[in-house]
Each structure stands twice: as structure tokens, then as C-alpha cells.
Amino acid sequence: MAISLPNRVVCAIDAQMTYALTVLLGAMARTAEQQFRVTVGYLDDTLPAADRDFVSEVATALKIPLDFMPLPSHSLFITQGHISPTTFAKFLLADAISEPHLWLDADTVVLPGWDAVFSEISETTETEGLVVAQRGGGIQSEKGMAFNAGVLGWPAGHRRDWETPLQSLEKVETQEQFLFNTLYAPSARVMSEKFNTLTYRVEKLDPDNLPFIIHFAGAHKPWHLRRDLSHHCRNYRCPWSQWFLAEEALLKEIGDSPVRPQLESQGSHALVASNLTGGQDQRGLRLLRLLLRLGPIAPIVVWFLRLLKQWIARGTHPIH
């Protein structure tokens, strides 16, 4: 039987983002004030059936209606640093879903108030094309990136042609972000930055003014950090602290259900679920991978690194 809930959340993952998505699902279920359903897209051969079954089991345990949408791969969908071809799936999903919906990157976590975005979407017109969060300046704004495409509110209606401009687009730092800004920035409706708070723009969270959606932009993510080293971040209230709280809440919600062992196994796998390259943007990821390998020595290393934190890549959140 078709799912008819009006509020729809859409995302796309590959096997490396399976665990991150389950934590996001848990946060959505726990904090939503409105009913919603979720559609998960995936490109050919990037999300094994076992991972899809696992996500479905977690969604069932959380009482979230969820379906999957397989998508064709495309030669124009390229890997750029830590950004996989799956990031382009948002174009395919928007074409396939003409009804209003919220796109969320899987490397996000939601907090109370996030589902107010559905009201923003309902007020967005087809002429505006999208509702996006303010970026608030910074180097990406200076490069002409008026918004980050990790959180997108799609109104009902026709989508703009992306394939033709992508075919002729010269290689830029982030093809997908550049293309979204080219197509939609001039007309897009704008909402508060609290709906897409980028972690590299925030050093410390204000408990009296928390974001609605936190986006863990960049190569290194909170699930790459050994949990026994997360207390520095949590005590400091760095942006990653909210992800650790969401993970704890999910594990508590799941309890001793049959999916618990696989959830824990996926969490362990997520520690190394990333592709290391030599790019400068992966300095933080290389540090977290090193801490993982250091075993019992890692807490001592972190203590010394905290003395040098001004020289550590911003956003490497165990160092506070």
C-alpha cells in the first residue's frame, strides 16, 4: 500500500554512509513534531541489499515509513576528494519526485524544530525553485557559492535542466555545489542558517540557541572518532557533540531488539568508512585515523595535541 504522509524527507547513501543514516533517522524520529516519511536513493551497485535490509529494520524499529529508490549511475557523476558520485543523486531524486520534499545530506543531524522546514517548503513557489539556508559569508560565499546544497527544500513542480549544463561544465572544486548555485541561487527562497549549520563555521554551540540541522561538512565526520575520545568535544559543546548524543539516544531507543548487534557492528565499521586521499581537506580525517591506530596511547597524544590546537585543522573536534 502506498505511503501517503504529506511530509517527505529524501536522501541518498552508499555503503559508507549506512550507519550515519540510521543515526539521522533516530534523531528525526525523536525530535519531529509532525509525521513524515523517508525515501532513500542509491546509485547502481553502491548500496548492498544487506545494508538496505539493515536500514529498513532500524526504520521499522523507529516506526518511520521508509522506501528505497534505485537510481542509474551516470558518467558525469564523479568523485571529488571525499565527495562521492552519490552526491549527484539529489538531481535524479528531485526529477523523480515532483511533489514537495526535503532533501537532507546523510552527514547531518536534526534537533528540535527541524521539521518547521516543511512550512518553509509549503511557502516556496515553483518560480523560486528551492528554499535554502543562508550561508552567512565565508570563503565559499566569496567563490560565488551562495548556499550549501546539503539541505534543500523542493516545492512541487518542474525541476530545472541540470544535465545539459553539467555536460559542458569545466572541472571546478565541487561540481554539484557549483551547479546547484548556478541554477538556483538567483531565484531561491532563503531561510535561516539554523536549517543548515555547517560545522566548519561553528566552534562551539550555544545551548540556548541551538541549530535545527547540523551539517558535518568536510572529509572527517563524528562517526570517524573513537568514542572514548569524544568527551573533550562533548564537554566543550563542539558541533559534533550533538551527533554523539543522537547516537546514544538511538542505541537506547533500539535497546535489546534483534537489530542491536548489527547496529553496533555498523558503528564499528563506520570508524573507517572513508577513502583516504592525499588532499589537504583530509588532514582531519588522517588525524582521526591515526588516533584509531594508536590504541591505548591515543588519549595521551590527544592531551599533547590540545596544547597545539591552534595549528590543528579547524573542525577536528577531539582537540579542545
pLDDT tens readout for residues 126-163: 999 999 999 865 444 444 579 999 999 999 999 999 99
pLDDT band for 203, please (50, 70, 90 cuts).
Answer: confident
pLDDT band for 183, please (50, 70, 90 cuts).
Answer: very high
Question: What is residue 201's predicted lDDT score, i.e. its pLDDT?
Answer: 84
Residue 199 C-alpha cell reads as 560545522
For residue 273, pLDDT beyond 90: no
pLDDT band for 4, please (50, 70, 90 cuts).
Answer: low
pLDDT tens readout for residues 243-254: 999 999 999 999
Question: What is residue 145's predicted lDDT score, i.e. its pLDDT?
Answer: 78
HSE-up of residue 300 (Cα within 13 Å, Cβ side): 4
Given a contact cutoff of 8 angstroms between Cβ atoms, the answer to whether 29 and 56 are in contact is: no
The neighbouring-strand residues paired with 307 are none
The neighbouring-strand residues paired with 83 are 80
Q: Kindly report the average pLDDT of the chain as a whole number.
A: 90
Residue 173 C-alpha cell reads as 572544486
Distance CA 190, CA 171 (A): 27
Distance CA 306, CA 14 (A): 34
8-state DSSP, 14: -
For residue 314, pLDDT beyond 70: no
* Type and span of the H or E element at 316: none
Q: Starting at the earlier edge strand, list the strands of the sheet with 8-12.
A: 66-71, 37-43, 8-12, 101-104, 151-154, 131-133, 189-191
Question: What is residue 317's predicted lDDT score, i.e. its pLDDT?
Answer: 56
pLDDT band for 275, please (50, 70, 90 cuts).
Answer: confident
Question: What is residue 128's predicted lDDT score, i.e. its pLDDT?
Answer: 97
CA distances from 247 to 196, 251, 253, 275 (A): 19, 6, 10, 23
Task: Quote the distance between the C-alpha of residue 23 and its chain's center.
Answer: 11
Question: What is residue 287's predicted lDDT score, i.e. its pLDDT?
Answer: 86
The pTM (predicted TM-score) of the whole model is 0.93
Given a contact cutoff of 8 angstroms between Cβ atoms, the answer to whether 233 and 318 are in contact is: yes
Distance CA 217, CA 198 (A): 6
Question: What is residue 319's predicted lDDT score, i.e. its pLDDT?
Answer: 67
Instruction: Output the DSSP codes for 117-177.
Output: HHHHHHT--TTT--EEE---SSHHHHTT--S-TTEEEEPSSPPPP-HHHHHHPPP-S-HHH
pLDDT tens readout for residues 54-91: 999 999 999 999 999 999 998 888 777 667 889 999 99
Given a contact cutoff of 8 angstroms between Cβ atoms, the answer to whether 107 and 17 are in contact is: yes
pLDDT band for 315, please (50, 70, 90 cuts).
Answer: low
Distance CA 81, CA 106 (A): 17
What residue ranges define each of the domains in the chain, with the CATH number in brackets? Answer: 8-197 (3.90.550.10)
- ∠53-55-58 over CA atoms, to 5°? 110
